[in-house]
């Protein structure tokens, strides 16, 4: 019953946000680098924060430092959705939020170089998740795929968190997908949505990795990782500013050059990452560590090859097209 009530409450809250966004003109206008063509409400992903807050309240205030970090990073992202914030200020706030996350996870008990490296990687994942939010359904669908892997690991491999945390987050994602995972989206996640859900998933992934001692679970983000890393390498090869907006991600090439419908691409990312996550969960403890890494290595090679083949098909790597 509580899940039905939460679904109804989140459904009501997102519709209230739509009215607020329309009143204050919080919208996304298409430009030369967009993969959409209609003016759409921005920031609908604010509902993801409500999922975490609902668990925080109903669990008698578990994970307070994580919640503080989530609110901090979400606030600066929401402001950025309304009015552009300087990159330096955004990064400072992100670093502060991640440090709060690390305090919650007790990462400062590790040698300093471990949490410094982890800090850089975490900031990178958060921003990569944000950059990957460019077509209908991809953030909501892909996040459900990651969450499904976390649920499987929590229930069939290593219990690391209360299932209700996962369920509340999943309900928020489902409500968002009602309005985003469709041909004509009612809203986009916005920076507040993509950054907040990335922060939540990173927290859960970190808890799983720390509890199990197995870094293999980081590959629950395989597709986003390959798309982001290879695109950065490609842009560096072209001597582009990697912090500037662009249309060179693999999903953008599929949408804009291959003309594949957004929903089909998002569904493909979601289904494939779900299958990868199921494979990872049931491969761990069933095969030796060496076999696990060989399997993941081969998977990454195959997916990277697909990325390169499609990029070469739709434009030469030396050309500064897709801008």
Q: Is residue 284 classed as helix, strand or coil in its secondary structure?
A: strand
Domain-embedded: residue 192? yes
Q: Judge whether 10 lies within some domain.
A: no
Give the structural domain span for 179: 45-314
- Kindly state the DSSP code that residue 46 receives in the 8-state scheme: G
* 289-311 residue pLDDT tens: 899 999 999 999 999 999 999 88
216 domain-assigned: yes
Task: Say how many domains are in the chain.
Answer: 1
Number of neighbours of residue 188 by Cβ within 10 angstroms: 26
Residue 4 lies in a domain: no
- What is the largest distance, in Å, between two alpha-carbon atoms of the chain? 57
Radius of gyration of the CA atoms of the chain, in A: 19
How many whole angstroms separate alpha carbon 281 and alpha carbon 149? Answer: 7
Name the residue with tokens 């329309």.
Answer: 22
Are the beta carbons of 77 and 70 closer than 8 angstroms? Answer: no
Rounded CA separation 128/159 (Å): 28
CA–CA separation, 155 and 33 (whole Å): 42
Q: Which letter does DSSP use for residue 59 in this model?
A: T
Structural domain includes residue 257 = yes
Task: Determine the pLDDT at residue 34.
Answer: 53
pLDDT for res 301? 97
Sign of CA dihedral 233, 191, 75, 166: negative
Contacts of 96 (CB under 8 A, 6+ apart): 69, 72
| Series of mean pLDDT values for 10-residue runs along the chain (323 residues) | 94 96 84 61 96 96 98 96 92 97 96 94 96 94 98 94 98 97 94 97 97 95 97 91 86 91 97 97 88 94 94 67 48
| Rounded-to-integer distance, Cα 21 and Cα 82, Å | 9
Structure tokens at 269: 């990312």
d(C-alpha 90, C-alpha 92), whole Å: 6
pLDDT at 178: 97
Q: How many CB atoms lie within 10 A of CB 163?
A: 12
Q: Identify whether 25 is part of a domain.
A: no
Q: Is residue 323 in some structural domain?
A: no
Report yes or no: 84 and 206 within 8 Å, Cβ to Cβ: no
* Strand residues in 34-174 grouped as ranges (E): 40-41
Q: Coil, helix or strand for 173? A: helix
Residue count of the chain, please give it. 323
Angle, helices 190-212 vs 138-156, to 10°: value is 20
Q: Which pLDDT score, from 0 to 100, does residue 37 have?
A: 55
Q: Report d(CA 252, CA 255) in Å as an integer.
A: 5
Question: Is residue 296, in this structure, part of any structural domain at all?
Answer: yes
Tell me what pLDDT residue 138 has: 97
- Residue 280 host element (H or E): helix 262-283
pLDDT tens per residue across span 56-68: 999 999 999 999 9
Strand partners, 187: 41
């Amino acid at each position: 019953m509580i899940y039905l009530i939460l679904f109804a409450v989140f459904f009501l809250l997102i519709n209230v946000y739509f009215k607020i966004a329309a009143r204050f003109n919080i919208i996304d206008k298409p430009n030369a680098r967009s993969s959409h063509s209609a003016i759409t409400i921005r920031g609908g992903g604010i509902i993801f924060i409500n999922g975490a807050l609902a668990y925080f309240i109903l669990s008698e205030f578990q994970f307070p430092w994580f919640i503080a970090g989530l609110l901090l990073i979400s606030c600066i992202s929401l402001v950025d959705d309304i009015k552009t914030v300087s990159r330096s200020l955004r990064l400072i706030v992100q670093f502060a939020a991640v440090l709060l996350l690390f305090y919650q996870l007790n990462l400062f008990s590790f040698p300093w170089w471990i949490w410094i490296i982890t800090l850089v990687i975490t900031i990178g994942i958060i921003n990569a998740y944000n950059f990957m939010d460019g077509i209908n359904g991809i953030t909501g669908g892909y996040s459900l795929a990651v969450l499904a892997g976390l649920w499987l690991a929590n229930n069939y491999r290593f219990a690391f968190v209360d299932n209700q945390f996962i369920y509340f987050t999943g309900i928020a994602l489902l409500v968002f997908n009602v309005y985003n995972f469709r041909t004509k989206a009612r809203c986009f996640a916005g920076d507040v949505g993509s950054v907040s859900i990335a922060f939540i998933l990173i927290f859960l992934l970190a808890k799983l990795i720390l509890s199990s001692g197995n870094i293999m679970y980081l590959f629950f983000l395989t597709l986003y990782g390959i798309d982001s890393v290879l695109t950065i390498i490609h842009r560096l090869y072209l001597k582009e500013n990697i912090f500037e907006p662009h249309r060179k991600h693999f999903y953008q090439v599929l949408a804009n050059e291959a003309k594949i419908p957004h929903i089909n691409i998002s569904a493909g990312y979601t289904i494939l990452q779900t299958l990868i996550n199921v494979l990872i969960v049931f491969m761990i403890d069933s095969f030796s560590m060496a076999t696990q890494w060989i399997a993941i290595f081969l998977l990454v090679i195959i997916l990277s090859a697909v990325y390169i083949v499609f990029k070469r098909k739709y434009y030469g790597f030396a050309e500064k097209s897709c801008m």
